[in-house]
Amino acid sequence: MKIISNNEQKTYELGYKLGTLLKRGDVVCLTGDLGAGKTTISKAIAKGLGVDECVTSPTFTIIHEYMGHIPLYHFDVYRIGEIEEMEDLGYEEYFYGEGVCLIEWASQIEDLIPKEHLWMHIKRIDENTREIEMTGNGQHFHEVIEELKRI
């Protein structure tokens, strides 16, 4: 599914709604160029999960943990050089755990992504416009995408 967002508020609303639809064990993969809107979507998903803290991109720490009504594990794997670095983090405990994993720059670790996941690619069209393409692997994510089509 592709969605065209003409402003940051619409992008935020999409992310917020997505956050309300996620459940324990879900993995959401975000890709797109610098400045495409991955962090905007991340903040909105966190808010939809009930996270009250200020969400920032964990570029230098790779992962931030937030507590909402479901834990959120926010990864930024832009600086991952070798897959072994993810193993050192104990990524499997997060990916197959009780929280929601949100992975910015997910294409860097594509081989590690669980079979069932939601992939979101954000493309910057101009200063305000974004094209957001979503692909869901697994029945739950197909249902999530159908629900998102309604907004």
Q: Output the pLDDT for position 59.
A: 66
Task: Provide DSSP, 23-46.
Answer: -TT-EEEEE--TTSSHHHHHHHHH
pTM for the full predicted model? 0.93
Residue 55 CA to residue 120 CA, distance in Å, equals 19
Q: What is the CATH number of domain 2-149?
A: 3.40.50.300
Binned at pLDDT 50, 70 and 90, residue 138 comes out as very high
Average pLDDT, the chain: 92
Among 38, 111, 113, residue whose Cα is nearest residue 76: 38
Q: What is the pLDDT of residues 71-82, one digit of tens each?
A: 999 999 988 888
